[in-house]
Structure 1
Amino acid sequence: MQNEALIDHYLLKILEANETTNLTRISSLEEARKLHIEDSLAGLQELQQAPKGLYGDLGTGGGFPGVPLAIESGRKTMLVDSVRKKMAIVESILSDMGLNDSISTYSGRIEDLANEHPQSFTALTARALSKLSVLMELASPLLSKNGLLICYKANVQDEEWDHALSLQDKLGLSLFSDRTLTLSDGETLRRIICFEKIGNPKMKLPRRVGLAQKKPL
């Protein structure tokens, strides 16, 4: 099966499972193809610029953007989400499709993953998960040297942007690229913001589970 057909087959399986378990708020196939396949692949360019090695999708939900990017890039991939029920369904679909050798799942908190697998990822994606500063803090201990954090964003307010840039040195990260594109509907804007791991953070990371969100830097 070609990559495009494989990705579409995965999406259909997710929409089928979504009828009984809430994996995605999108139920229309047309809308899902745009927001789960086309939008997921918007960050492929940045993923291909990352060093070779393990790629992780943080807060993956139903496996987006992780699964389309994994299939299209051929990278060994780990899908990360704290909702075990979602991960069990995703894992079952991947197994049925024979993809579980190259795409694994992790049901747990990102901070726990960082303690178990420090500096193990050469690329991480995060879509609609949290504000930039929180993503940077969560990603820093997971990324290896020169690894990339690829953030999928819609609107980024000046305050969020300025705060993220002010934390680069503290978190051992540096702005790598910043690109805005429009999806095929001509309306949906997507901004792909990418940070590179350039050195060790100047604080002990990860902090305790939940602190990145509850008491952001």
Structure 2
Amino acid sequence: MAMSEHMVNDLAQQYLDLVLEANKSINLTRITDRDEAEMLHLEDSLVGLDEVNEAPAGLYGDLGSGGGFPGVPLALATGRETVLVDSVKKKMAVVSQLIDQLGLSNQITTCGDRIEDLALDRPGSFSVLTARALSRLVSLLELSSPLLVRGGRLVCYKAQVSDEELNEALAVQDLLGMKLISERKTLLSDGETARTILVFEKMARARLKLPRRVGAAQKTPLKPRP
């Protein structure tokens, strides 16, 4: 069950403070200024809240979660069971400790595996995934497709998306059983920082065997089949 807005905000603020404190000994975020972190981590994390809420009920995964953003604020705001995924195991170990400190480990867990390995362990397990500034769209679609249930959603957070990047993804979405269903542009509260939220839905099984070997989605992105 989702918490009250006040409780969500209070826990999110506590989590941010813990991250900034832990950041003094391990690099969880490049942002060290509290006000900047509040905007670029807490506020930015919740930019895609409506899109995450519109996804089917069920498990939520945050890919490339790093210091736990947008995963932790979205977990708090939605009440969804959540898995934070990042292959930097040291980061995930620290994030896991912070989640324990806040008493949230029944709802939020961490995974220090590569996304491709998670897809082998838990295929078709996730109703919604987020990815914030993680990779090109074409790679995100490939990595997400085997993880999502049919009807599940991938919510991508981008600063900006070039026509080239979008067209590259649209050219292979059918091959991956995915489809772009929405694109929304907005600005953060400073009136300058642009965000684009793109949502892809898992429509069908991919027409190729996924996952490919670790790193292939980024190193040799898929191209449309003739």
- Which band: TM-score by shorter chain? over 0.9
The superposition leaves residues 81-131 of structure 1 with CA deviations (integer Å, 9 ceiling, x where unpaired) of 000100000000101110000000000100000000000000000001000
State whether structure 2 residue 146 is matched by structure 1 residue 141. Answer: yes
User: Taking structure 1 as the reference length, what is the TM-score of the superposition?
Assistant: 0.99
The residue identity in structure 2 corresponding to 1:70 is A
SS state of the match for residue 170, structure 1?
A: coil
SS state of the match for residue 177, structure 1?
A: strand
The offset of 1:158, in angstroms, is: 1.1
- Structure 2 residue corresponding to 1:74, chosen from 79, 94, 97: 79
The residue that corresponds to 1:4 in the other structure is 9
Task: Measure the CA separation in 2 of the matches of 1:7 and 1:80.
Answer: 19
- Structure 2 residue corresponding to 1:216, chosen from 207, 212, 221: 221
- Structure 2 residue corresponding to 1:127, chosen from 110, 120, 132: 132
The residue that corresponds to 2:3 in the other structure is none
* Percent identical: 58
- Structure 2 residue corresponding to 1:103, chosen from 108, 122, 126: 108
The residue identity in structure 1 corresponding to 2:123 is P
- Structure 2 residue corresponding to 1:48, chosen from 44, 47, 53: 53
The offset of 1:176, in angstroms, is: 1.3
The offset of 1:214, in angstroms, is: 1.1
The residue that corresponds to 1:193 in the other structure is 198
Task: Measure the CA separation in 2 of the matches of 1:180 and 1:214.
Answer: 28
Task: Measure the CA separation in 2 of the matches of 1:95 and 1:148.
Answer: 28
Matches within 5 A, 1:151-162: 151-162=156-167
The offset of 1:207, in angstroms, is: 0.2
SS state of the match for residue 207, structure 1?
A: coil
Task: Measure the CA separation in 2 of the matches of 1:64 and 1:46.
Answer: 16
Task: Measure the CA separation in 2 of the matches of 1:187 and 1:66.
Answer: 23
The residue identity in structure 2 corresponding to 1:157 is S
Please provide the CA RMSD for this pair. Answer: 0.7
The superposition leaves residues 26-79 of structure 1 with CA deviations (integer Å, 9 ceiling, x where unpaired) of 000000000000000000000000000000000000000000000011000000
SS state of the match for residue 50, structure 2?
A: helix
SS state of the match for residue 141, structure 1?
A: helix
Task: Measure the CA separation in 2 of the matches of 1:157 and 1:177.
Answer: 16
Task: Measure the CA separation in 1 of the matches of 2:159 and 2:102.
Answer: 32
Task: Measure the CA separation in 2 of the matches of 1:165 and 1:147.
Answer: 18
The offset of 1:17, in angstroms, is: 0.2
Task: Measure the CA separation in 2 of the matches of 1:152 and 1:209.
Answer: 23
State whether structure 2 residue 178 is matched by structure 1 residue 163. Answer: no
The residue that corresponds to 2:29 in the other structure is 24
The residue that corresponds to 1:33 in the other structure is 38
Point out where structure 1 has 5 or more consecutive residues left out of the alignment.
none
SS state of the match for residue 164, structure 2?
A: helix
SS state of the match for residue 130, structure 2?
A: strand
The offset of 1:160, in angstroms, is: 0.7
Task: Measure the CA separation in 2 of the matches of 1:93 and 1:116.
Answer: 25
The offset of 1:168, in angstroms, is: 1.1
The residue that corresponds to 1:88 in the other structure is 93
